[in-house]
Structure 1
């Protein structure tokens, strides 16, 4: 259940980042609005797997930078994870397109804030 909640929160966060940041686009196969939901959920699934599998290793390897920057380097790590998600999802007919690191940075900031906000709104028993 927690995985599904995290997946939906990530989907909303990525969709908002694509709406608000000009360098981020969600490419769909043109099958209508209902299909776009599936596309966003697919991208969120890729993002969730990337965050679960790769992000901890990157954070461990960049621990000295995280300490020196008092954790602000986490924003760069989040941008790299979003960029990696875009790279992986572009292997399909639909995916996430990010025009550069600046767009990835601002998109990751939005994704982080939305994840934090929506995660705080989820009841405690759903998070366990």
Structure 2
């Protein structure tokens, strides 16, 4: 259930980022490119992004732990931008997917996605039941 909520929040965040024109981030929908195909493409890209964050992001964060300390966590912006760029690279092999034109604009887009995930995660995160 958590993964599904995370994918839906990621899909919404990626959609919002595609609406911000200067970031040059686009989603190429499944053919024929109507609304349903766009939603399915956003969900597929969000699932790939969540898997990349979970697997590769965790490994990078463990290896780069000293850099986190040295930069007081600011390296996470670069790592998140790299993970977004990696997601775009993984989905560019098909005729659908995420397109990020510039790495540094991808870093800004990843920052926006992170902020949206954080804000929506506060409200939509499944609450643990308290034991009495």
Provide the TM-score with structure 2 as the length reference: 0.90
Alignment of 1:1-128 (within 5 A): 1-20=1-20, 21-28=22-29, 29-125=31-127
Q: How many residues align?
A: 126
Distance in 1 (alpha carbons) for counterparts of 2:54 and 2:125 = 22
Distance in 1 (alpha carbons) for counterparts of 2:87 and 2:114 = 15
**Structure 1 residue 123 displacement after superposition:** 4.7
2:94 match: secondary structure: coil
**Which protein shows a greater Rg?**
2
Distance in 2 (alpha carbons) for counterparts of 1:38 and 1:94 = 10
CA RMSD of aligned residues (A): 1.3
User: Structure 1: which 5+ residue stretches go unaligned?
Assistant: none
Deviates more, 1:22-31 or 1:34-43: 22-31
Alpha carbons of 1:123 and 1:86: their partners in 2 closer, same or farther (altered >3 Å)?
closer
CA contact (8 A) 2:17 2:25 kept: yes
Provide the TM-score with structure 1 as the length reference: 0.92
Runs of 4+ with deviation above 3 angstroms: none
Deviates more, 1:56-65 or 1:22-31: 22-31
